[in-house]
Structure formats: structure tokens, C-alpha cells
Amino acid sequence: MSNQTNNNQTLNANKQSATIGKTLSACLSHLQFGSLIELFNGISEGIFIIDEQGTFEFANPMAAQFLGDSQQSLIGQSLLQFLHETDRDKYMYTLLNWLDIKDTRLNFGPNEVKINKTDGNIIEADLSISNMPSSIASAQKLYVCILHDLSIHKAIYNKLKVQASIDHLTGLANRFTLDESLKQYWQESIQSHQPLTSILIDVDHFKRFNDTYGHIKGDKCLQKIAKIILQCIPSRDCLAARYGGEEFAVILPRCNRDSAAVVARHIQQQINAMTFTDIGLPPEVKVSVSQGIACELDNQYRTCEALICAADTALYRAKSDGRNKISISS
């Protein structure tokens, strides 16, 4: 029985010999070879072995899939040709340095790298490199590398990042994104001596709308208003956000108060013309908004919070003046 097992392992090793380099093959007995390849091939991470020049001696099926080539074709190729140019020098330097260090284990990574696949696509991955134990590779230095594909993790992270930055009802930026973006806009304004203008927008008598037509229709109303605001901002450098409840905010970099007033009037006109027949309400149902504008120039307000406060004061004045008004902070 033992002889039969050994024979099977030898046959398996012979079948797999085309997927292994000469240096690695010389280091292993048939039994070691078969067991090691079986182990690596069954792991769901990309695992490959390189020599001290960075040449592939072995790649498991997952590594071949990540790199976009066959296991057999990878043998003899250089790892460096698969590394993006931004990572290539770092790994070349690491390998060359470790050639001259005796009796010291290399453990490098995991580090995030970009991989050039053979089809021209680029994937992001974590790459770890460590010495193969001297009990296996005593004659020459060999390195075991583990490649962990980050594409799915990155996609999930980016999706969560987007979800965390937007208001789920309106699709506009949420309050957190507004606050963080405003800090950046503020610094750019101060450094460039360019104006920065904020518009705060409040839906008039929105509680009455909700009480009369219900919260579902109220949500639809907010979505329609958000869409109009987004269409009215002059460039993608600007930011439209839900400030809270039925309040919205627009940040206009490099825009003075007169230009902001034009944007505000456009928003006002479009909302005044808006109907709700598409959500089942009579054509006579209308809404309006009140708006407050404040403009920062030459460090007038000293902080971005003070700028928003000034716009809020102007908004309060617009509502006090009878609503459906635009008030500009002096």
C-alpha cells in the first residue's frame, strides 16, 4: 500500500513537472515536490515561487489566473514585468539587497501593489515575499510569494465610501461630506484669494406639505427639489448637499455673491414651475423655497463655520420677509 502511494505521488509529480522551474525542481525530491505542489495548488490565494533574480519557478492556478497567464507560460518569466512601474523599483531593490544578506529571513509585506495582467488590465493586490525554508531550498535562495487580489475588496470599499458620503433619499452629498468638503473649499479660497459662496435653501411650509399629502409624497418632493438644485449648479466643482430635513446647501467655489444670486434665482424659478402630477397630486399643488447667500472674500468670515452661519442668518431673513425670497448677507 505504501509503495502504491509513493508511486502515485511520483506520477503526479511527473505530470506537474512542466509547471515548475529547474532551480526549484533540483531542490526537491519527488515526494517533496508532489506534496508541495498539491498543497499550493489547493490554496485559494495566488502563490508563486521566484528565484533570486525574480524569475518564476512555480505559480499555482490562482496566481496564474491573477496574472492572466497559464502556469506553464509563467515559468521563466520575471515577476518585475508584471509589477506596475510605480512598484517595480521597490521590489527590485528589495531582492537585490537580500541577495547579499546571509542566514537572515526575508519577510516583506504584505504591501499593496498594482499588477499588470497579460491582457493589459491592472489589478490591485497585496503582495508578500518570504524566504523558502533552507530545509527545502538550501543550495539557492528561493522566495515564496503570496498574491491577494484586492479588486473585490476595493470595489466594496469604494461602494461603501460612496454610500457613506451621500444622502440616501436625495442622492446629494450628505451633511458629513458637506462639512468635510467645505473645509477644503475654505482652504483653497484663502490660499488663492478667490471668493467662496454658500447658499442655504429651505423648503417653505414643508411640514404643511407632509401633513397634507403624507410623508411618502414629501420624500418625493424633496427628491424633485434635489434634482433641480443639482441641475442648476454651474459646474462639477460646486457641491450640492442635503443640509438636514428640508434644508439644502450649495457651495460655489470661485463664485461671488452676484453670480450666486443668479444661481439662486434659477433654482427659485425652476422650483416655482415644478408640478407634482407625476406623483399623483393635482397640478395646482406648488412649493417654494427661501434662500440665504453668504460670500467669503479676503477672510471676511475667518472660519467656514462662520460663512455657513451668515448664510443661515440670511435664510432666516428671507423667510421673515415672506418666504419664496432670496436674501444676501452683507
Which amino acids are annotated catalytic?
246
Could you tell me which of 88, 92, 84 has the C-alpha nearest to residue 114? 84
Provide the sign of the torsion angle of the four alpha carbons 179, 181, 183, 185, taken in this order: negative
- CB of 222 within 8 A of CB of 215? no
**For 36, phi and psi rounded to 5 degrees?**
-65, -45
How many whole angstroms separate alpha carbon 210 and alpha carbon 126? Answer: 51
- CB of 204 within 8 A of CB of 287? yes
If phi > 0 it is left, if psi is from -120 to 50 it is alpha, else beta; for residue 173 that is beta
> Other CB atoms closer than 10 Å to residue 17's CB: what's the count?
13
How many whole angstroms separate alpha carbon 200 and alpha carbon 45? Answer: 51
Q: Please tell me what DSSP assigns to residue 168.
A: T
Residues 82, 84, 87, 93, Cα dihedral to 10°: 50
The cell for 104 is: 537572515
How many whole angstroms separate alpha carbon 95 and alpha carbon 27? Answer: 20
Q: What type of residue is 330?
A: S
Q: What type of residue is 94?
A: T
Residue indicated by cell numbers 423655497: 289
- CB of 296 within 8 A of CB of 197? yes
How many whole angstroms separate alpha carbon 33 and alpha carbon 144? Answer: 15
H-helix or E-strand spanning residue 141 = none
Alpha-helical regions (H) of 42-174: 61-67, 71-74, 85-99, 151-165
